[in-house]
């Protein structure tokens, strides 16, 4: 797969003002309330492009806004095709971290041809993104993908050299998709011809694993197909590429969070007998909940998952039993890594088998354990199933096995922002 520089579109800070006020998270993590807040942050906030308000033909409204900002030079096209080095500064669990990524155009190929998904998708989000892409002819936020550097860390060495120069853009802490501490960004443009050629050659033969952006990648494939055969065969046409931020698997700032499941709608008799039925399959261990922050303890490393709400004042931990096989309840046509994954055990064994008689179950999702605990105590949900995070090597393993994890198995934190660099497709 070709990994190429491109002439990115970026905000002119003299026209748009503080860049911390104009970038926003990608569309799929923005609630309606947050959408309004980003609208209020700045008249030039990228929310107007990434997730326009549902008034009239919102896709055309986004297109009109995009082209007006280009005419007014609020957004400007870089003169030289560039790779963009992006250092994303953030805090997680009181630790200060930096995730380093390379923003580039990546050639579109069918799944399995040099690029590998790790998670199942739905069609609803793809339709929305396709309409926006067709109206605006641009990628406003990069897809987030992973690659493995050589043993000599050749790509890392080049990016380190680039980072010794003065950054093109420095964005102070201003927005955050999850925490109140905010995030900061530094951006460099890689314009040297030799450096660009070397990066392109080093990344050309490396498999790419989609971390965050499955829907948008499949949307880009649909967009490419819709552009017509003549254009799609032209090697350097922009519609043959999609913007990605590429992060190395061993990057110290690569954080993957689990997505916990909140459940309600279980009939009282079924809920009352759930602990006994789970005890027939798993070893159950109760860990008392104590007052304080955080109130919910971490899951033991040897557990499959944890449950809040099953036992008052306790986290119930489920562990595999050596005398019980779960194989018959797991799909035989899936990879071993899929069958051992906590979300798979939850979906197929707990929800699909133990709770199969509960017909009206509703499931919601959160990455915030304390929020999940609060919803249980407020009585809004009956149970919360807490999960371990997927390790980056599991994402690679499931991609290599040509398999996919269940939907909402991973949350790569923090999200790559929209508006930092825009990729034109026109």
Three-state helix/strand/coil letters over the chain:
CCEECECCEEECHHHHCCHHHCCECCHHHCCHHHHHHHHHHCCCCCHHHHCCCCCCCHHHHHHHHHHHHHHCCCEEECCCCEEEEEEEEEEECCEEEEEEEEEEEEECCCCCCCEECCECCCCHHHHHHHHHHHHHCEECCCEEEEECCCCCCHHHHHHHHHHCCCCCEEECCCCCCCCCCCCEEEEEEECCHHHHHHHHHHHHCCCEEEEECHHHHHHHHHHHHHCCHHHHCCCCCHHHEEEEEEEECCCCCCEEECCEEEEECCCHHHHHCHHHHHHCCEEEEEEECCCCCCCCCCCCCCCCEEEECCCCCEEEEEEECCCCCCHHHCCCCCCHHHHHCHHHHHHHHHHHHHCCCCCCCEEEEECCHHHHHHHHHCCCCCEEEEECCCCHHHHHHHHHCCCCECCCCCEEECCCCECCCEEECC
Beta bridge partners of 255: 413
Crossing angle of helices 124-136 and 214-226, rounded to 10°: 50
The answer to whether residues 286 and 318 touch, using CB atoms and an 8 Å cutoff, is no
| Model confidence band, residue 205 (pLDDT cutoffs 50, 70, 90) | confident
Shared domain check, 221 and 129: yes
357-370 confidence digits (pLDDT tens): 998 999 999 999 99
CB 412: neighbour CB atoms within 10 A?
Answer: 20
Query: Is position 227 within any domain?
Result: yes
Structure tokens at 416: 């790559």
Shared domain check, 237 and 266: no
| Model confidence band, residue 416 (pLDDT cutoffs 50, 70, 90) | very high
Mean pLDDT for 54-80 is 95
Query: Is position 286 within any domain?
Result: yes
Shared domain check, 322 and 234: no
pLDDT reported for residue 177: 47
329-381 confidence digits (pLDDT tens): 999 999 999 999 999 999 999 999 999 999 899 999 999 999 999 999 999 99
219-273 confidence digits (pLDDT tens): 999 999 988 655 544 445 899 999 999 999 999 999 999 999 999 999 999 999 9
Residue carrying structure tokens 């954080």: 255
Structure tokens at 72: 């007014």
Give me the domain span that covers residue 337: 259-388
Report the candidate in 243, 163, 191 with the shortest Cα–Cα distance to residue 80. 191
192-202 confidence digits (pLDDT tens): 999 999 999 99
Shared domain check, 118 and 231: yes
CA separation for the pair 118, 299 (Å, rounded): 24
| Model confidence band, residue 178 (pLDDT cutoffs 50, 70, 90) | very low
Shared domain check, 184 and 59: yes
Mean pLDDT for 207-214 is 96
pLDDT reported for residue 358: 93
Residue 295 has pLDDT above 60, yes or no: yes
Structure tokens at 165: 């120069």
**CATH number of the domain where residue 315 is located:** 3.30.1760
Residue 175 has pLDDT above 90, yes or no: no
CA separation for the pair 27, 15 (Å, rounded): 24
Residue carrying structure tokens 């923003």: 103
Query: Is position 398 within any domain?
Result: no
Shared domain check, 137 and 35: yes
Shared domain check, 218 and 286: no
pLDDT reported for residue 293: 77
Crossing angle of helices 193-204 and 154-163, rounded to 10°: 150
Query: Is position 399 within any domain?
Result: no
pLDDT reported for residue 165: 96
Shared domain check, 310 and 219: no
Query: Is position 352 within any domain?
Result: yes
| Model confidence band, residue 179 (pLDDT cutoffs 50, 70, 90) | very low
CB 359: neighbour CB atoms within 10 A?
Answer: 10
| Model confidence band, residue 181 (pLDDT cutoffs 50, 70, 90) | low
Percentage of the chain beyond pLDDT 90 is 89
CA separation for the pair 391, 211 (Å, rounded): 12
Shared domain check, 359 and 332: yes
pLDDT reported for residue 371: 94
Shared domain check, 218 and 160: yes
Cβ-based burial of 164 (10 A; exposed 0-12, middle 13-18, buried ≥19): exposed
Shared domain check, 72 and 96: yes
Mean pLDDT for 171-177 is 66
**Beta-sheet pairing, 83-92 with 241-248:** unpaired
Mean pLDDT for 156-177 is 87
Query: Is position 394 within any domain?
Result: no
Query: Is position 341 within any domain?
Result: yes
Percentage of the chain beyond pLDDT 70 is 96
Q: What pTM did the predictor assign?
A: 0.93
CA separation for the pair 296, 369 (Å, rounded): 7
How high is the mean pLDDT of the chain?
Answer: 93
Query: Is position 373 within any domain?
Result: yes
Residue 75 has pLDDT above 70, yes or no: yes
**Beta-sheet pairing, 208-212 with 115-116:** parallel
| Model confidence band, residue 56 (pLDDT cutoffs 50, 70, 90) | confident
Report the candidate in 173, 30, 165, 21 with the shortest Cα–Cα distance to residue 88. 173
Number of domains within the chain: 2
pLDDT reported for residue 144: 98
Shared domain check, 266 and 249: no
| Model confidence band, residue 88 (pLDDT cutoffs 50, 70, 90) | very high
């Amino acid at each position: 797969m070709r990994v190429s520089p491109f002439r990115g579109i970026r905000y002119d800070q003299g026209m748009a003002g503080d860049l911390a006020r104009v970038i926003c998270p990608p569309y799929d993590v923005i609630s309606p309330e947050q959408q309004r807040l980003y609208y209020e942050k700045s008249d030039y906030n990228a929310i107007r492009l990434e997730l326009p308000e549902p008034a009239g033909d919102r896709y055309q409204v986004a297109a009109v806004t995009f082209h007006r900002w280009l005419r007014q030079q609020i957004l400007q096209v870089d003169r030289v095709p560039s790779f963009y080095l992006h250092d994303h500064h953030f805090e997680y669990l009181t630790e200060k971290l930096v995730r380093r990524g390379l923003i580039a155009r990546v050639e579109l190929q069918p799944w399995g041809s040099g690029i590998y998904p790790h998670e199942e998708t739905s069609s609803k989000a793809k339709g929305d993104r396709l309409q926006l892409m067709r109206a605006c002819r641009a990628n406003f936020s990069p897809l987030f993908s992973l690659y493995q550097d050589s043993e000599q860390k050749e790509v890392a060495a080049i990016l380190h050299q680039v980072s010794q120069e003065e950054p093109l853009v420095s964005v102070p802490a201003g927005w955050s998709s999850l925490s109140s501490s905010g995030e900061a960004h530094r951006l460099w443009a890689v314009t040297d011809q030799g450096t660009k050629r070397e990066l392109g050659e080093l990344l050309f033969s490396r498999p790419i694993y989609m971390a965050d952006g499955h829907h948008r990648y499949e949307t880009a494939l649909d967009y490419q197909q819709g552009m017509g055969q003549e254009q799609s065969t032209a090697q350097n046409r922009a519609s043959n590429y999609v913007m990605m931020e590429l992060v190395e698997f061993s990057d110290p700032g690569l954080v993957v969070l689990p997505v916990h499941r909140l459940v309600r709608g279980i009939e009282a008799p079924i809920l009352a007998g759930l602990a006994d039925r789970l005890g027939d399959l798993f070893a159950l261990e109760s860990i008392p909940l104590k007052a304080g922050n955080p109130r919910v303890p971490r899951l033991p490393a040897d557990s499959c998952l944890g449950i809040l709400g099953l036992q008052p004042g306790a986290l119930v931990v489920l562990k595999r039993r050596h005398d019980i096989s779960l194989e018959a309840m797991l799909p035989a046509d899936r990879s071993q890594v899929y069958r051992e994954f906590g979300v798979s055990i939850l979906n197929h064994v707990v929800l699909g088998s133990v709770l199969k008689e509960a017909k009206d179950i509703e499931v919601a999702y959160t990455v915030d354990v304390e929020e999940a605990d609060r919803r249980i105590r407020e009585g809004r949900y009956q149970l919360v199933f807490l999960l371990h995070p997927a390790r980056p090597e599991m994402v690679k393993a499931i991609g290599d096995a040509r398999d996919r994890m269940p939907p909402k198995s991973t949350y790569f934190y923090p999200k790559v922002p929209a508006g930092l660099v825009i990729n034109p497709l026109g």
